[in-house]
Amino acid sequence: MQSFALIRPHTLAAARQRVLANPEQRLLRAGGLDLLDRMKEGLETPDELVELSSLQGELGQQLRALESTATGLTIGALVTLAQLAQLAQHDDLNTRNIGHAALRQAAASAATPGIRNLATLGGNLLQRPRCWYFRSADLHCLKKGGSACLAITGENKYHAILGGGPSFIVHPSTLASALLALDARVEIAGETTRIIPIAELFVSPKTDPKREHILAPGELLTRVLLPAPGPAARSAYAVAKEKQSHDWPLAEAVVNLSLEAGVIKSVRVVLGHVAPVPWRSAEAEAALTGQKPGAALFARAAAAALAPARPLKHNAYKIPLAQGLLREALHRAADLPLPE
């Protein structure tokens, strides 16, 4: 690995100045897990890493804060996955976090306890894909300026079945799927500060195959804002992996629903690790809205969610897998027993 300097700025202006002086060579570091992997893999050769944990003042506090108010939950970008996994134990949140359960479950499922202690919310959302063609410095895939996605004709067991093309990566972030289902917004600080729906953070390869998010060099993701769940809101996260720990998901499903008078009044359905962006299923949501929850309805919604799937040679198994996960998440969110 090439040697680099670790810069510890105290202000946003100083951090931006370092990065903007040479955007190709200067990278922000949060927990550093994904970043150091990319450096060891030879994908990045920065001359400076700009340490986010050194930021001070109001911004420094915001980056670390996990605050619950009447209007919702505000989570700083440096809050770790371990902290999110313990949301239920947070004093303020005990009584109102059933609606945010999917976020807690997603954070608790990711990676390993050791990784969760270091990995941050911001770094998790902005980590680069795990595709083995992208991660190999020797291969010139589409994401690195090549002419084609090598997964199309190659080993594509872990790749996209929905929304793929021209690149077939799957979005790597577990928290992204949960936060999209929970209708999160993200705050971005740069020359100005803006707040956008989290769906607008992600970039489809159809728009630009080289990037996964809209942040410009020197921009910081500072906070994630979650609306307070309604009294009848319930959410759930379900995942399948090859190994129970130290592994990435094969597929994920997140459901956030509200019941009223025995029917589903509103619902958001998101699938993870099946598409290049966290995949909101309009088909499943349409099938569920206004209906009485139950196993037959959930099976129909799961079939509808995967109807647009276009698997590659080695990943058709993800269709029944994602359907089963969605059915599981729906049962858990609706508080119904899982069928045998």
Ligand X SMILES: Cc1cc2nc3c(=O)[nH]c(=O)nc-3n(C[C@H](O)[C@H](O)[C@H](O)COP(=O)(O)OP(=O)(O)OC[C@H]3O[C@@H](n4cnc5c(N)ncnc54)[C@H](O)[C@@H]3O)c2cc1C
Residues that bind ligand X (CB under 6 A): 27-35, 52, 77, 110-111, 115, 118-120, 122-124, 126-127, 172-175, 215, 220-221, 246-249
Nearest approach in angstroms of CB 27 to ligand X is 5
Q: Output 126 or 233, the one with its CB closest to ligand X.
A: 126
Tokens of 296: 């037959």
Nearest approach in angstroms of CB 76 to ligand X is 9
Q: Output 179 or 301, the one with its CB closest to ligand X.
A: 179
Nearest approach in angstroms of CB 173 to ligand X is 5
Segments in the chain forming alpha helices (H): 12-21, 33-40, 57-64, 81-85, 101-109, 113-118, 121-126, 132-135, 174-181, 282-288, 295-306, 318-333
Q: Output 16 or 327, the one with its CB closest to ligand X.
A: 16
Backbone torsion region of residue 262, taken as left when φ is above 0, otherwise alpha when ψ lies between -120 and 50, otherwise beta: left
The phi, psi pair for 260, rounded to 5°, reads -140, 130
Nearest approach in angstroms of CB 208 to ligand X is 16
Nearest approach in angstroms of CB 336 to ligand X is 26
Nearest approach in angstroms of CB 79 to ligand X is 10
Angle in degrees, 0-180, between the axes of helices 318-333 and 295-306, rounded to the nearest 10:
140
Q: Output 52 or 85, the one with its CB closest to ligand X.
A: 52
Alpha-carbon distance of 16 to 265, in angstroms, equals 45
Q: Output 27 or 233, the one with its CB closest to ligand X.
A: 27
* Residue type (1 letter), 65: A
Q: Output 127 or 323, the one with its CB closest to ligand X.
A: 127
Q: Output 203 or 295, the one with its CB closest to ligand X.
A: 203
Q: Specify which residues 187 forms β-bridges with.
A: 195, 223
- Kindly report each contact of residues 40-44 with a partner whose C-beta sits within 8 Å and lies 24 or more positions away, as own/partner: 40/1, 41/135, 41/136, 41/137, 42/137, 43/128, 43/134, 43/135, 43/137
Q: Specify which residues 240 forms β-bridges with.
A: 251
Nearest approach in angstroms of CB 106 to ligand X is 8
